[in-house]
Amino acid sequence: MKECDSKRILVTGGAGFLGSHLCESLLAQGHEVLCVDNFYTGSKRNIAHLLAEPRFELLRHDVAFPLYVEVDEIYNLACPASPVHYQNDPVQTIKTSVHGALNMLGLAKRLKAPVLQASTSEVYGDPQVHPQKEDYWGHVNPIGQRACYDEGKRCAETLFMDYRRQHRLNVKIARIFNTYGPRMHPNDGRVVSNFIMQALAGQPLTVYGDGSQTRSFCYVDDMIAAFDRLMRTPDGFGGPVNLGNPVEHTMLELAERIIALSRSRSAIVFKPLPSDDPARRRPDIALARAVLQWEPKVGLDEGLECTIDYFRQFVKEGDALAIPPATQERSLHAQAK
């Protein structure tokens, strides 16, 4: 990349799972990266290898408060993303989604910079249509335990679209479906990390309900490639656009695959299904294929093997199972998805 093509790019939630991979990708492209995180669930461990890079800057900050910086592009990834974390402080989760969106939109408006919002498949709630397309409005419980995240992200999408209509702001909305890979928090309560940690520790894998509920799993490298393509789309396209893997798997199938790939002897135990847990979740990615020329390339077994290798370090260190959920490196509030 020519020096004149290099941009200064802000990544909020940059020390989180997706954020750290995005920072790494942007640096590899020759850009300067300003990583903002308050380490509520993000971790310095995720970006430690980037700290010596002269084009990388780390700022500890909560996006629920205004931020005054000079950048060319903004990726807004800051928000706790797993039920264990976002339900730990639901009011702060809503503040992060809504106030964070307002602050990043205000910054983008002042700078005339494109801004990408990391939204979520949770805006569809427990969907009554399958697979989910972008024109589906969703089936969300606005007063349930998951609403702090679901409704916070839905409100953020509203704000992004209103800034687009009212201020002609160049916004991009990515509806992210289940994504996994190295740097996931070992105790984030998500199914992939739960199953892997249980399998590596020789503990029973906890399957809720009868295990017939489905999810679609996208490897992190594929998701980061989609972010890049979405940000590069013309100003006339802002989304929302579904980003995820359209291949559907049951929870029981996932548990059995992880046991086999990790060479574990763990058993599978069944527990009652949590409230408002979607029965089926699979993206329709026709829009992403048509507009972004993107679809996932990494197969589930290949991605799981890389993720299992990453998680082995925590079992060897013996520290992951002792980390209380949502308290590792706690600071003010908010984190990367």
Structure confidence at residue 329 (pLDDT): 31
* Residues recognised as catalytic: 149
CA distances from 15 to 18, 35, 39, 46, 186 (A): 8, 7, 7, 6, 15
Q: Which domain holds residue 158?
A: 7-180+219-246+277-296
282 is a domain residue? yes
131 is a domain residue? yes
Span 107-116, average pLDDT: 98
Question: Whole-number mean pLDDT of the chain?
Answer: 89
Q: Let me know how long the chain is.
A: 337
pLDDT at 89 over 70: yes
Q: Determine the Cα–Cα distance for residues 306 and 19; give it in Å rounded to an integer.
A: 18
3-state secondary structure of 167: helix
pLDDT digits (tens, 9 = 90+) for 210-260: 999 889 999 999 999 999 999 999 988 999 999 999 999 999 999 999 999
pLDDT digits (tens, 9 = 90+) for 28-42: 999 999 999 999 888
For 4-40, the DSSP string reads: GG--EEEEETTTSHHHHHHHHHHHHTT-EEEEEE--S
Beta-bridged to residue 74, according to DSSP, are: 10, 115
Q: Of residues 160 and 122, which shows the higher confidence score?
A: 160
96 is a domain residue? yes
pLDDT digits (tens, 9 = 90+) for 46-63: 999 999 999 999 999 999
90 is a domain residue? yes
pLDDT at 282 over 90: no
Structure confidence at residue 1 (pLDDT): 57
DSSP code, position 122: G
How many domains would you assign to the chain? Answer: 1
3-state secondary structure of 291: helix
91 is a domain residue? yes
Span 92-97, average pLDDT: 89
pLDDT digits (tens, 9 = 90+) for 147-178: 888 899 999 999 999 999 999 999 999 999 99
Say which residue the tokens 């589930």 belong to. Answer: 300
* Token pair in block for residue 18: 């997706």
CATH number at residue 145: 3.40.50.720
pLDDT at 66 over 80: yes
30 is a domain residue? yes
Structure confidence at residue 2 (pLDDT): 60
196 is a domain residue? no
203 is a domain residue? no
Structure confidence at residue 311 (pLDDT): 94
Peptide bond into 240 cis (omega under 30): yes
| Class of residue 161 by CB neighbours under 10 A (exposed 0-12, middle 13-18, buried 19+) | middle
Report the candidate in 149, 214, 215 with the shortest Cα–Cα distance to residue 179: 215
